[in-house]
Amino acid sequence: MCGLAGLALRQGLEPDGATLDALTRALAHRGPDGAGHHVSGPVALAHTRLAIIDLVTGDQPLFAGPAALVANGEVYNYRELREANQLRCATQSDCEPPLHLWRRDGAAFAEALRGMYAIVLQDRAAKQVVLARDPFGIKPLYTAEVAGGIAFASEPQALVAAGLVQPRVRAAARAELLQLQFTTGAETIFEGIHRVLPGETVVISDGAVTERRRRAALPEGGPEVIATEEALLRLDAALEESVALHQRSDVPYGMFLSGGIDSAAVLAMMARLNERPVLAFTAGFDVAGAADERIQAASLAAAAGARHVTVAVTEAMVWRHLPEIVGAMDDPAADYAIIPTWFLARRAREEVKVVLSGEGGDELFGGYGRYRAAMKPWWLGGKTPRAHGSFDRVDVLREAPTGWRDGIGAAEAAAATGGRSRLQAAQALDVADWLPNDLLIKLDRCLMAHGVEGRTPLLDPGVAAAAFRLPDALKVQGHTGKWLLRQWLARHLPAAEPFKPKQGFTVPVGAWIEHVGDRLGPLVAAQPGVAEIARPDRVAALFRHAGGEKHRGFAAWHLLFYALWHRRHVEGRRAEGDVFEVLSGR
């Protein structure tokens, strides 16, 4: 996990050194272990390193003949790539094999990579710059057209900090953020800044994009015919291989453990593969009645022989650090899970530099309740996923958001292809946008704020091949999702009680907001970003009653998030002090 940035300009132009320095400084938190750069003609590459594999010779940029490379993430099958392709590598870095594969295979070089990665390489002989991102979009990569060519970076805020792009908000993306809590597609919330899409490889020649190709995250085809026992054996082999690959590291690692199925499956496999006790971190909350997973997680850890560390997240901690937490979310995802994730990462960094987590289990194995609704035709009570937004029942905005489902609608049409079942289409929809633009952005930014690498072994081509084309009945039975994964867990970690009704993960933001609503509501309403879109008196009233109905709590949280995000990333004001000090301008 690192940070990368740079410029690919037209022939005859030279990158500005001050711009390159500004990009590097803006990404220093992603790579606290060192920095490097390479400038050749109209191209500049910058890198900040979080050293995980090959601590001695793995500094970047990496070079092979006329090609240079910088990367963010991990290529887990780097050893297999070296051996199978007889690559003569100068280092033990996991990121050097892609450089040699580029020289042999050109733009198809990423097809063989297994991992999470954002890669940028320059080939001086071909006069090309190539950008590539992993199929699930685990690692971020952004571009912007600038004077004379194209700039790129691991985070949008770096492009803004370097003065390459002005932080202007796209109204359509703001509507998505308020209603969905994330934004969709290639365009970000910032005018002029675009995402390299998951699985996309982009070729730039003479400062302009000349080729795009896409590698799919999910296997093609509808549900296959497979017996339960065969499916369980295949799943076991896929999980073992993936977790083994995701544990490759030259530094200490641990995992994030909730009381749920996905992280329990990761724990069970890590316990099988590790001789030493697994180090597991769990967060809980101080609000009576809130879903607190620490007791269940402790039971799981004990059953697996793991060492268990808990983090108690209090209301006081949230108000003290929320400006920092939201400040890390430059590509905004108003997911309240950023709160425990940020605190878990802070605690984990005291002992490890790598954590494994269970993101992706619901999407690949069919876990969400909305999938069960999507499986039914409308005349039997079926429902379209994300048909309603957070502000549909809350009258606080000056104008009702419009067009906020356009991106989701386009993704729905793309997902319902290739003979997929209704369930598969709903899963593919989430893999296209919800997963990379909410869950994985949350994991990336919250962990990188503390110099910790997050790995997601369930988001692996082998696991996807074992899970996505399962018959619908091996994913969902009655009111139970992730049926096959639960069956596997019942055999390998029965203490997880995988068929017990799911508690559900919630963060008590509504109760916290209402507790200080009289003070917080007027401060949020007065922020320029919120005042532009919402009625101050109604915002204040919403905050006073945010702890009651769930939809009111969500709406209040989204406005609080947007107020802090806009202040930091659009107005450019630093997040110093607690939430009240920051919002009051003190």
Active site residues: 2
Walk across the sheet containing 354-356 and list its strands.
Answer: 307-313, 279-285, 253-256, 354-356, 453-455
- Main-chain dihedrals φ then ψ at residue 552, nearest 5 degrees: -70, -40
Beta strands in 257-349 (DSSP E): 279-285, 307-313
Check: CB of residue 334 under 8 Å from CB of residue 192: no
Give φ, ψ of 152 to 5 degrees: -145, 155
Dihedral of the alpha carbons of 515, 517, 520, 521, in degrees to the nearest 10: 160
User: What is the sign, positive or negative, of the torsion defined by CA atoms of 154, 160, 164, 169?
Assistant: positive
| Six-digit token string for 471 | 């018959």
Residue labelled with tokens 């292809």: 417
Query: Which residues are 47's β-sheet partners?
Result: 4, 36
Phi-psi region of 401 (alpha: psi -120 to 50; beta: other; left: phi over 0): beta
CB atoms within 10 A of CB 367: 25
Q: What is the Cα 448 distance to its own chain's centre?
A: 11
Q: Per-residue DSSP letters for 22-38?
A: HHHHHTGGG-BT-EEEE
Helix and strand totals (H; E) in the chain: 23, 17
Strands 67-75 and 62-64 come out as: antiparallel
Task: Give the residue carrying structure tokens 């963010």.
Answer: 72
- Provide CB contacts within 8 A for 288, sequence distance 6+: none
Q: How many residues does the chain have?
A: 586
